[in-house]
Amino acid sequence: MEKLIITPKTKIYDLIEAYPPLENVLIEMAPEFRKLKNPVLRKTIARITSISQAAIVGGLNVEELVNRLRSEVGQGSIEAIDDTGSKYNTVKPNWFSEQAIVNTIDIREMLNRDEQPVHEVLAAIRKLSDNQILEIIAPFVPAPLLDKSLSLGYQHWVSNNSDGSFRVFFRM
């Protein structure tokens, strides 16, 4: 069987399935990746999260992460990777107001039940009226969800909580 070629678009689940030792390399590079040890997160989020998205979650340079993973398995480095990873808004925007929050979804509970939160969250965003805000509570930066919401034209703000969780606010 031909082994997986590692690129920024490679899904974390596929990467670890093809090259199990790379799980420890990911954890060494960014301690946030320890969550991959959780079988529920591994089966859900890792299946839809690309290396590019994971790099953003881990605060890593996409090119360095991909080249390190490729080097570990004997693949040559990729020069000047096109980093299409979107930049997420982590600065409190002018439109944010606690009073404008009309719904809160804690996706940690959904993930613990082995459910994908993307469809429920997008349905909730679509129900927002002008100036209304949806709050999401997540155990990590939900890069796939943010990428999808950006592609649909929604605004967001990602706030890091002191307990290590994240609050993500969406509006039309």
Instruction: Give the mean model confidence (pLDDT) for residues 28-40.
Output: 88
Instruction: Give the mean model confidence (pLDDT) for residues 106-125.
Output: 86
Look at residue 116 and tell me whether its pLDDT is greater than 60: yes
**Dist. CA 40–CA 36, nearest whole Å:** 9
Specify the range with the lowest mean pLDDT, choosing from 34-48, 125-139, 140-154: 140-154
Question: What are the pLDDT digits (tens) for 142-164?
Answer: 877 887 888 888 999 989 888 87
Question: What are the pLDDT digits (tens) for 41-82?
Answer: 888 889 989 998 898 888 888 888 988 998 999 887 665 444
CA distances from 37 to 10, 53, 55, 155, 159 (A): 19, 18, 17, 32, 24
Of 129, 138, 127, 123, nearest in space to 169 by CA: 138
Strand partners, 134: 103, 170
Predicted local confidence at residue 100, as pLDDT = 97
Predicted local confidence at residue 84, as pLDDT = 43
Look at residue 5 and tell me whether its pLDDT is greater than 70: yes
pTM (two decimals):
0.59
Domains and CATH numbers, the chain: 12-72 (no CATH), 98-171 (3.30.110.40)
Look at residue 112 and tell me whether its pLDDT is greater than 50: yes
Q: pLDDT: is 84 or 132 the higher one?
A: 132
Q: Given pLDDT bands bounded at 50, 70 and 90, which one contains residue 125? A: very high
- Residues 6 or more apart whose CB falls under 8 angstroms from that of 30 comprise 57, 58, 59, 60
Cα four-point dihedral sign 60, 63, 66, 71: negative
Predicted local confidence at residue 13, as pLDDT = 94
Q: How many CB atoms lie within 10 A of CB 104?
A: 13
Structure tokens at 32: 């946030």
| Lookup result for tokens 């799980």 | 23
